[in-house]
């Protein structure tokens, strides 16, 4: 039986008084040429607006801090200085009746920049602005490239325009633009000690797309995330010269999906069989399983780090391996962006898997808790058993991920039709990811047929044919779709049909061995 490997390595949470010393130490490390935050300043921020101060912890160490407060629009969007608007860094100007979230500070450990800590902190701010029904986020951003490029431009305004046109890259301003912030104007004498920026700040804003001034109650997008972006990879089987070639191919797709701001990227069943293609000779089944098992620690570590660095949840297809209890299993992994790893075994091996690989069926059928809500994994053949999807959705899953590997069109269609049935009967989303191509030097992976897709229930708010997106047949590509979880809730309670709720539990139900 496969075990869950590790607790979260990285987490974003609200700061607490016990974090004060660590935040001060972090600010000392970040602001080497300036005075760090004092204990009184941090305590003032925590006292003024406790829910608005965030830290990022990596393996227990504070590596990021974001300080915020609330301001009225006339204050947040007017000309101002950092000292004036923040009350000297104490958040003393915080206005609980404010309609904008104002960013006082973001500190990121310079030794941990590859972990996308800044993006995580900005995402936390966005969620807070939505939860509080605010108009948006505003802050004075730095432009540290201005001083060294000043001779090339007539004014700082010209420099900012060049940055906006991507004619020149500013280390901070370009990051803010890429993150979706809009520059309104320059703030003169915003922070005089910032000599690299000439003392200027850029008034950056992000407008809450869910803010409706006509409604007293604003909708919340991500209390428990409503909109989840999915990227499913239809991957070409490729012969590799060394294992690193496989991981480079995987990281390419992870990076692309991350650049599209996907919450999940999904890979196919048995995609790790490509690791066997660099062996000097074709391995027999028992030797192949032993070799794949040797790859397991590196596979888990590599994809865990990809999930953390790229700030994305990875559904790592499946990996045939001998597990800790000595059984041979086909194991699906979820590598979450908080650094935690979850393993789920294939419940129903196909006749081919049982005969050729000696793979046995697993036994845990449980959801995985993610930052986008509970999800379920059904590996290929498992999707053809309706009890699996029903149990996962009963446990709260609203998205089911199905990595698959089929050799023929009729094998593929069995998976596809059953996945669409699971989406209809459970009123959930089902995401599939398959392999294409062939590997002539890996036994039992001769030909592949795939058309990966993202399937929805069939009702008015969803795609007309129940397909949110799908790949072209047998072509390596990434398919992306936004899935609205609130729409599922509507369908289950107000839809044309309500399959999930209309079950006749007085006549039938499935009873599981654990009592569920």
Tell me: the pLDDT tens digits for 459-509? 999 999 999 999 999 999 999 999 999 899 889 888 999 998 888 877 888
Cα-based angle 384, 494, 483 (whole degrees, multiple of 5): 55
Q: Which of 16, 18, 50, 12 has the alpha carbon at shortest distance from 127? A: 12
DSSP state of 377: E
pLDDT at 382: 97
pLDDT at 350: 95
Active-site pick, 269, 353, 448, 470: 269
Percentage of the chain exceeding pLDDT 70: 96
DSSP state of 237: P
The answer to whether the beta carbons of residues 83 and 35 sit under 8 Å apart is no
Cα separation, 176 vs 181, in Å, equals 6
For the ranges 30-44, 217-231, 243-257, 426-440, which has the lowest average pLDDT? 217-231
pLDDT band (50, 70, 90) for residue 220: very low
Burial class (CB in 10 A: 0-12, 13-18, 19+), 324: exposed
Question: What domains does the chain contain, in order, with CATH numbers?
Answer: 10-207 (3.40.630.30), 229-494 (3.60.110.10)
Cα separation, 202 vs 315, in Å, equals 39
Paired strand residues for 14 = 54
pLDDT at 215: 46
Cα separation, 206 vs 165, in Å, equals 19
Active-site pick, 107, 135, 346, 448: 346
Range 97-119 average pLDDT: 92
The tokens 């294409």 sit on which residue?
A: 436
pLDDT exceeds 90 at position 455: yes
How high does pLDDT run on average in the chain? 91
The answer to whether the beta carbons of residues 416 and 451 sit under 8 Å apart is yes
Comparison of pLDDT for 388 and 97, the residue scoring more: 388
Cα separation, 234 vs 437, in Å, equals 10
Beta strands in 304-428 (DSSP E): 313-315, 319-322, 328-335, 341-345, 368-370, 373-377, 399-404
Active-site pick, 380, 393, 418, 458: 380
pLDDT exceeds 60 at position 234: yes
Identify whether 269 is a catalytic site residue. Answer: yes
Token duo for residue 276: 């066997």
Q: Which of 399, 400, 425, 396 has the alpha carbon at shortest distance from 499? A: 425
The answer to whether the beta carbons of residues 86 and 50 sit under 8 Å apart is no
pLDDT at 286: 87
pLDDT exceeds 60 at position 217: no
Identify whether 105 is a catalytic site residue. Answer: no
How many Cα atoms are found within 13 Å in the side-chain-facing hemisphere of 100?
A: 20
pLDDT band (50, 70, 90) for residue 320: very high
Q: What is the sign of the dihedral through the CA atoms of 248, 253, 256 and 257?
A: negative
Identify whether 279 is a catalytic site residue. Answer: no
DSSP for 410-464, please give it. Answer: HHHHHHHHHHHHHHHHHT-EEEEEEEEB--TTSTT---BB---EEE--SSTTS-T
């Amino acid at each position: 039986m496969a075990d869950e490997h590790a607790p979260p390595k990285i987490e974003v949470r609200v700061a607490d008084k016990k974090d004060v010393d660590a935040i001060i130490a972090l600010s000392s490390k970040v602001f080497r040429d300036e005075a760090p935050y004092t204990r009184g300043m941090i305590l003032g921020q925590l006292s003024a607006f406790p829910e608005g101060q965030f830290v990022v912890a990596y393996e227990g160490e504070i590596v990021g801090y974001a300080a915020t407060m609330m301001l009225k629009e006339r204050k947040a969007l007017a000309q101002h200085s950092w000292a004036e608007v923040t009350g000297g860094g104490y958040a003393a100007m915080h206005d609980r009746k404010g309609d904008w979230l104002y960013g006082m500070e973001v500190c990121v450990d310079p030794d941990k920049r590859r972990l996308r800590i800044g993006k995580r902190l900005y995402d936390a701010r966005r969620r807070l602005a939505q939860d509080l029904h605010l108009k948006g986020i505003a802050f004075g951003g730095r432009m540290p490239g201005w001083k060294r490029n000043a001779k090339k431009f007539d004014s700082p305004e010209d420099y900012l325009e060049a940055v906006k046109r991507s004619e020149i890259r500013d280390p901070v301003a370009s990051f803010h633009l890429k993150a979706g912030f809009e520059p309104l104007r320059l703030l003169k004498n915003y922070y005089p000690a910032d000599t690299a920026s000439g003392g200027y700040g850029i008034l950056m804003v992000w407008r809450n797309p869910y803010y409706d001034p006509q409604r007293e109650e604003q909708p919340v997008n991500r209390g428990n995330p409503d909109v989840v972006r999915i990227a499913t990879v239809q991957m070409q089987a490729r012969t590799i010269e060394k294992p690193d070639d496989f991981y480079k191919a995987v990281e390419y797709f992870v990076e692309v999906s991350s650049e599209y701001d996907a919450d999940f990227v999904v890979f196919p069943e048995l995609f790790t069989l490509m690791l066997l293609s660099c062996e000097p000779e074709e391995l027999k089944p028992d030797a192949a399983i032993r070799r794949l098992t040797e790859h397991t620690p590196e596979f888990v570590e590599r994809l865990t780090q990809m999930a953390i660095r790229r700030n994305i949840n990875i559904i790592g297809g499946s990996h045939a391996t001998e597990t800790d209890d000595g059984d041979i299993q086909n194991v699906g992994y979820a590598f979450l962006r908080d650094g935690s790893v979850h393993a789920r075994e294939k419940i129903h091996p196909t006749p081919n898997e049982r005969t050729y690989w000696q793979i046995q069926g697993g036994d845990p059928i449980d959801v995985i808790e993610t930052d986008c809500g509970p999800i379920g994994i059904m590996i290929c053949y498992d999707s053809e058993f309706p009890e699996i999807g029903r149990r996962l959705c009963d446990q709260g899953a609203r998205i089911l991920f199905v990595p698959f590997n089929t050799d023929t069109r009729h094998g593929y269609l069995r998976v596809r039709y059953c996945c669409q049935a699971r989406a209809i009967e459970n009123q959930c989303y089902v995401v599939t990811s398959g392999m294409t191509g062939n590997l002539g030097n890996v036994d039992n992976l001769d030909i592949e047929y795939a058309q990966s897709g993202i399937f929805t229930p069939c009702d008015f708010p969803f795609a007309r044919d129940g397909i949110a997106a799908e790949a072209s047949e047998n072509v390596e590509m990434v398919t992306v779709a936004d899935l609205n979880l609130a729409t599922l809730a509507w369908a289950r309670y107000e839809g044309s049909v309500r399959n999930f709720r209309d079950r006749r539990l007085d006549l039938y139900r499935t009873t599981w061995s654990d009592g569920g």
